[in-house]
Amino acid sequence: MTALTLSTSAAAALRADAVVVGVTKGPKGPQVAPGAETVDKAFDGKLATTLDALGASGAEGEVTKVPAPSGVKAAIVVAVGLGEAPQDGAGFDAEALRKAAGVAARALGGAKKAAFALPAAEAADVEAVATGALLGAYAFTAYQAEKDGRSTLGEVAVVGAKPRDKAHKAAAERAAAVAAEVNRARDLINTPPNDLTPKSFAAAVQAAGKEHGFKVEVMDEKALLKGGYGGIMGVGQGSATPPRLVRIGYTHAKATRTLAFVGKGITYDSGGISLKPAGHNETMKCDMSGAAAVFAAIVAAAKLGLEVNLTGWLALAENMPSGGAVRPGDVLRMYSGTTVEVLNTDAEGRLVLADALARASEESPDAIVDVATLTGAMVLALGEGRFGIMSNDDAFRGKVHAAALAQGEDSWPMPLPKELRKTFDSPTADIANMGVRLGGGLIAGLFLKEFVGEGITWAHLDIAGPAFHEGAPFGYTPKGGTGSAVRTLFSLAQQTADGDLLP
């Protein structure tokens, strides 16, 4: 794990393998950003001229490495692009700082220590730089004998921060806790499905509960069958590895508000009898990303002792096409008592979530937020880089959207059109698990809404697009599991603790 320190030393004076400086895109070429003054001085004020000669422009995502001159203790200077400089005295955008720090950390994989001399005068800047660097330093190499240079950066030192300043110290603590948990979620998502089963996932949650002091209850297949969890049992009945429902309970003695987080945890999704076509199975280990996000966000809250009560519900199952699998045409009786006709076994996420939402509602939380890699339709609607947000309360949906954007998690508010509800009426059961094809992401949201308790504020995050990145790494986003929605959920918990989220 990459260590994080705050340093009051001048950037040029700090002993490290590399010093990272920011460069903005100016009208006549690159310009050195604040924080790198002592490094620029070592270049006799000609760092920008040197970078310009090497073809640097200051564009976002750009990295230029230069041997350090005498006067700089680090061996190399890594100049990273920040894009256009802020105008009219405004500070640097937090996401620009996060991305720049992430790019630099990826470029320095295997180094023991790097000094990050990016603009970090304010606590929010410190948090952004530290978060980006710690996320960018991530690498998943657990199953590789040869690391191919993908080992992580050993230590991130944020230069210009103030270790004795309470706001700066708290910012660094948040960055370290949240980034570590985003990376925990990434590890879970990237773990092969033969090793991450519902049982082993539940065991990992239990171990974390003992370490960080929150309660964990695990319902196995016998308890689920006895309790009438027809959705979870129906999806899991085709697998040799039976399902689990995990309840996480984090409480604070002074908390007056409770948030419930519900996560889809399909540890592998073959589509069941409605088998996915060739080319769509290879990444389906990521179908538990919602449960990973819920788990990780609550651990981060527990580490930082947030003054809020949180419950997490992880609906864990494997969707397989065996002789015992649920069939199209079967009817399941859900935990709520509602009967559901299964028209497509690849629409399984909504079935496990429905049971978990109904169970979470019984405890009457102030709000419920569920997270799921739920529909390909949402990817078609919004692309791979952002998630959709639906809610039974427009004001709450707006707050969730604002929280996501503030954390750099691209998202978009989506509607729940009432006229689509009738399209999943069933002649056999109370409802079907499928409606019209067009607007499938909205259909799924409307289906979930049926299982939220009366009067409970609820939001649904469909993270099917950004949960797993198959392209080349960029910013602080790696190839593979991204940990999407962890930072949004943590922010909602933080705002609830501060009294800013709920009336």
Catalytic residues, by residue number, are 276, 350
Q: Are 479 and 185 in contact (CB under 8 A)?
A: no
DSSP bridge pairs for 247? 217, 313
Pairing outcome for strands 113-117 and 18-26: parallel
| Angstrom distances, CA of residue 95 to CA of 60, 112, 257, 263, 411 | 11, 25, 29, 26, 14
> How far is residue 25 CA from its own chain's centroid?
30
DSSP label at residue 454: T
Backbone region of residue 483 per phi and psi (left: phi > 0; alpha: psi in -120 to 50; beta: other values): left
Distance CA 52, CA 30 (A): 6
DSSP codes, 223-240: HHHHHT-HHHHHHHTTSS
Beta strands in 27-103 (DSSP E): 29-32, 63-67, 76-84
Rounded CA separation 258/117 (Å): 39
DSSP 146: S
Nearest to 132 by CA among 183, 87, 84, 63: 183
Instruction: Answer whether 152's CB lies under 8 Å from 142's CB.
Output: no
Residue of 501, 42, 433, 61 whose CA lies nearest to 259: 501
Give the burial class of 469: count Cβ atoms within 10 A of its Cβ; 0-12 exposed, 13-18 middle, 19 or more buried: buried
